[in-house]
Amino acid sequence: MRFSDDVAASRRASRFPEYAHYCFELVAIGAIYFVLAKIGLVLASIHASATPIWPPTGLALAAVLLRGYRVAPAILLGAFAANVTTAGTITTSAVISVGNMLEALSGAWLVNRWSGGCDTFVKPDDVVRFALVSLLATTLSPTIGVVSLAFAGLAQWSNFGAIWLTWWLGDLAGALVITPVLVLWARSTPDAFRGPEVIESVTVYAATGAIGVFAFSPLVEQTAERGPLAFLAILPLLWAALRLSQRETATVALFLSIFAVWATLLGGGPFARESLNESFMLVVMFMISTAVPSLTLSADVTMRGQMAAALGGDQRMRTTTLQVINRAFQEVSSHAETLRQRVSDEAALPALDAITAAARRGENLTQQLTSSHVQPISDVPSDPATSSSEPRA
């Protein structure tokens, strides 16, 4: 009995680091969620609990995709703490936090089942599936949240549509802009931060910052002539999509979104309107319309590059194989010709002539096949045992 107790205690002690790591993970995710939620709720105008900018959705979805469904308690507690310290009652805050948690869990489940999980940003069709999943999953939180507020008398039923739309677009933008950045950076390998690509990435980020300040900065007076400058945002997005990877493309989209939010919050930039909520609705549409197409384009370019590299490798392999076969035919023809000169039995000469003719036909055929693929690869290694044109004595 004492031995079994010692074994159980030993097992508990061995699993203590695992439990400690899990608790730390929950605390970290919950704390970050709380901070992002408080930042997002500062921008609420149509209702204290409905904001058009809601980055916690992107964090929650990325956390579940990367760490699994076990991080759900962190989302629940972080959302509850943010809501209960902002507006509403304990009951409505609890219901809203459940809606936020279910939104992340359902979105991650759909992405894992239908869109490749964390690899959803590798292929362009999976990027589109991720956008559609986000479009669907982000309807849970606003529906649950606005209904609970309306039943509690904290929101007017007549404003249900406007509050719901603001809430939903904020969640959708968070999923489409924040989640790709977190997932792609978290899954980056150490090799991705070496080589000339790093210099080009830094250059793209610097250009994004310059364009963000020039096109969106509230420090520069906004006039009717400066409005079209917002289209300059296309340049770094195309640069990142065509030259770099999905990670850089998603990061550029996030940087541009931050500049747009900063400018609009201070009453400047091309999206500033009389109503703060209307202004941020325009910002959200800008965020969505830049993030999804650029990420899809980047995935398509990357996939085409991988396919071209694979086809090039196969073609080089076929060419090398044909050259080796061609050289073997040459050696067979040479050996047969040498034997023909040394054999005195005339009865064997027709057979040697046939071997020589067949080898030459094979040589000509492989030469034609090699020329029809790509330029021949020089210096193909040959078998040292057959490299000499003369047979061994």
**Residues forming a β-bridge with 50:** 47
With tokens 């003719």, the residue in question is 357
Q: 307 is written with which tokens?
A: 């396919």
Instruction: Return mean pLDDT, the chain.
Output: 82
Better-scored residue on pLDDT, 55 or 193: 55
pLDDT tens, residue by residue, 183-197: 999 998 777 667 777
Q: What is the pLDDT of residues 259-316, one digit of tens each?
A: 988 888 887 777 878 788 888 888 898 999 889 999 999 998 888 877 776 666 666 6
Range 168-180 average pLDDT: 94
pLDDT reported for residue 340: 61
Predicted pLDDT at 73: 96
* pLDDT bracket for residue 248 (50, 70, 90): very high
- The whole-number pLDDT of residue 249 equals 94
Structure tokens at 228: 């079209």
* Nearest residue to 304 via CA among 373, 237, 240, 242: 242
Give the tens place of pLDDT for each residue, 63-81: 999 999 999 999 999 999 9
pLDDT of residue 140: 95
pLDDT score, position 32: 96
Class of domain 1-187: mainly alpha
Alpha helices per DSSP H over the chain? 2-14, 16-42, 56-67, 72-84, 90-114, 124-137, 140-151, 160-186, 196-216, 234-243, 246-265, 276-342, 349-373
Asked if residue 66 lies in contact with residue 118, where contact means CB atoms within 8 angstroms, the answer is: yes
Residue 23's pLDDT band, with cuts at 50, 70 and 90, is: very high
Q: Where are the domains of the chain?
A: 1-187, 311-386
Whether the predicted pLDDT of 230 surpasses 90: no
pLDDT of the residue at 169: 92
What is the reported pLDDT for 385? 39
Confidence tier at 379 by pLDDT (50, 70, 90):
very low
For the ranges 112-121, 320-329, 362-371, the one whose mean pLDDT is highest: 112-121
Q: What is the pLDDT, as a whole number, of residue 387?
A: 40
Please answer whether residues 79 and 96 qualify as being in contact, where contact means their C-beta atoms are separated by less than 8 angstroms.
yes
Please state, in angstroms and rounded to a whole number, the distance separating the CA atoms of residues 93 and 83. 5
pTM listed for this prediction: 0.75
Q: Is pLDDT above 50 for 389?
A: no
In the chain, % of residues over pLDDT 70? 73
pLDDT band at 384 (very low <50, low <70, confident <90, very high): very low
Average pLDDT over residues 10-29: 81
What integer pLDDT is reported at residue 143 of this predicted model? 96
With H, G, I as helix, E, B as strand and everything else as coil, classify residue 47: strand
pLDDT recorded at residue 227: 67
Residue 48 reports pLDDT greater than 50: yes
Give the pair of three-digit tokens for residue 22. 């899990």
| Three-state secondary structure call for residue 359 | helix
Phi, psi of 47 (to 5 degrees): -160, 150
Largest separation between any pair of C-alpha atoms in the chain:
113
* pLDDT recorded at residue 138: 95
Q: What is the mean pLDDT of residues 118-133?
A: 93
Q: How confident is the model at residue 116 (pLDDT cuts 50, 70, 90)?
A: confident
| pLDDT of amino acid 87 | 80
Are the C-beta atoms of residues 324 and 383 closer than 8 Å to each other? no
Nearest to 166 by CA among 271, 258, 283: 283
Averaged over 331-359, what is the pLDDT? 64
Per-residue pLDDT at 338: 67
Segment 96-102 shows an average pLDDT of 96
pLDDT > 90 in the chain, percent: 44
In this model, does residue 57 exceed pLDDT 70? yes
Site of tokens 């067979």: 332
